[in-house]
Amino acid sequence: MTNTPRRPQWRQALTLPSHARLGPADVARVGAAGLRARPLRVFLSAVGIAIGIAAMLAVVGISASSRADLDRALDRLGTNLLTVSPGNTMYGTDAQLPKTSVLMLDRIAPVRSVSEVGRIDAHAYRNDHVPSGQTGSIEVLATRSDLLRTLGGKVTTGSWLNGATARYPAVVLGAKAARRLDVRTPGVRIWLGDTWFGVAGILDPVPLAKELDTAALVGWPAAQRYLGFDGHPTFVYVRSAEPDVEAVRSVLAATTNPEAPNEVRVSRPSDALAAQRATDRTLGALLLGLGAVALLVGGIGVANTMVISVLERRPEIGLRRSLGASRGQIRLQFLTESLLLSTLGGLGGLLLGIGVTAGYAAAQSWPTMVPAWAMAGGLGATLLIGAVAGLYPAVQASRLSPTEALTVP
């Protein structure tokens, strides 16, 4: 039987205990303790991140709310509305649509309804004492009684022109035109051309025919009788069957003016909306860039806070190292502090961004839309900022030896 050699006692005395492991709860508690010790600095750093996240989220949320409102309007009004207007002649002058445009277009089988308005060389004033130059940019348009049915428009107050009132000096004002003339209720008179016209009604805004919002609308027969209207339409609105919109659009120019189809311009509301959304995307990209700058400033603030924290807490780091904390545990502590600080800022930014979006959408009577991907992306951005901003200070703290950290400079 052989005896196993025993290790000398002096070798057993030199054996160092292993580092205690920190659980997730321990790491979070240690990191939170560092933040609680400096509340004002933590608050200011978190505000910097919150502003950046709120800016990004508000840009996305307001844009999404605006698009939701447009989609709701399109669902209500439909995308099957086409607009015909005069283009230019081969000599570069303004063309005219034929007086028979509506009759010609109404013969197209898939067309469900068609109406027209014509620009009149006259201006509308609140009374006959207003100087002629103060027109308020209000157009006077001759119109047909079936216009609202074709456009899906509504009257806010009063009534629309009918077969009787369209023959007499009666006028319906667009939403903006009524505000500019300071007309709130029907029954009053305005000076239009050289004749007093009675206000029969005021329209709601018409999303797909913005030109009506700033116009004074009179009946087609009354325009010819009292205002010298020549009978040529300026805009012809065509509502067609949904499946045949493109087919109808392809024949509108030739049907409206067979002799000169190149002098006819055909547009579709979705084209204008696409251009508007492209503008919204450009503006959104600009504002997102500003939000990214705010995030960068917030990240610099977090990094500055953590670097100063490392410098101020050298004795604490030295004491923890002397008591057995490993470099990895010190590194994890300061990285956790940075992540907690960024998370606080991110949560505050999410609440602020949602609040701004909801407030603006309510003021515009829009549905409030804050995409889930935007909220998740904003919170993910804060965590990335916290990790990047806290990495260098955490590494620097872990490199301090106990004697170096405990030495007071």
pLDDT value at 409 more than 70: no
The C-alpha atoms of residue 2 and residue 279 are separated, in whole angstroms, by 90
Higher pLDDT, 345 or 181: 181
Burial 95-127 (b: 16+ CB within 10 A, else e): bbbbeebbebbeebebbbebbbbbbbebbbbbe
pLDDT value at 145 more than 50: yes
Higher pLDDT, 83 or 300: 83
pLDDT for res 212:
94
Q: Please state the rounded mean pLDDT for residues 3-23.
A: 54
> Can you give the pTM of this predicted structure?
0.55
pLDDT for res 371:
82
pLDDT tier, 10 (very low <50, low <70, confident <90, very high otherwise): very low
Secondary structure (H, E, C), the chain: CCCCCCCCHHHHHHCCCCCCCCCHHHHHHHHHHHHHCCHHHHHHHHHHHHHHHHHHHHHHHHHHHHHHHHHHHHHHHCCCEEEEEECECCCCCECCCCCCHHHHHCCCCCEEEEEEEEEECCCEECCCCCCCCCCCCCEEEEECCCHHHHHCCCEEEECCCCCCHHHCCEEEECHHHHHHCCCCCCCCEEEECCEEEEEEEEECCCCCCHHHCCEEEEEHHHHHHHCCCCCCCCEEEEEECHHHHHHHHHHHHHHHCCCCHHHEEEECHHHHHHHHHHHHHHHHHHHHHHHHHHHHHHHHHHHHHHHHHHHHCHHHHHHHHHCCCCHHHHHHHHHHHHHHHHHHHHHHHHHHHHHHHHHHHHHCCCCCCCCHHHHHHHHHHHHHHHHHHHHHHHHHHHCCCHHHHHCCC
Q: Please state the rounded mean pLDDT for residues 42-66.
A: 80
Tokens matching residue 314 = 């050298």
Task: Tell me what the pLDDT averaged over the chain comes to.
Answer: 81
Q: What percent of the chain has pLDDT over 90?
A: 37
What Rg value do the Cα atoms of the chain yield, rounded? 36
pLDDT, tens digit (0-9, with 9 covering 90-100), for 216-264: 999 999 999 999 999 999 999 999 887 888 899 999 999 999 999 999 9
pLDDT for res 188:
94
pLDDT tier, 282 (very low <50, low <70, confident <90, very high otherwise): low
pLDDT for res 355:
92
pLDDT for res 45:
76
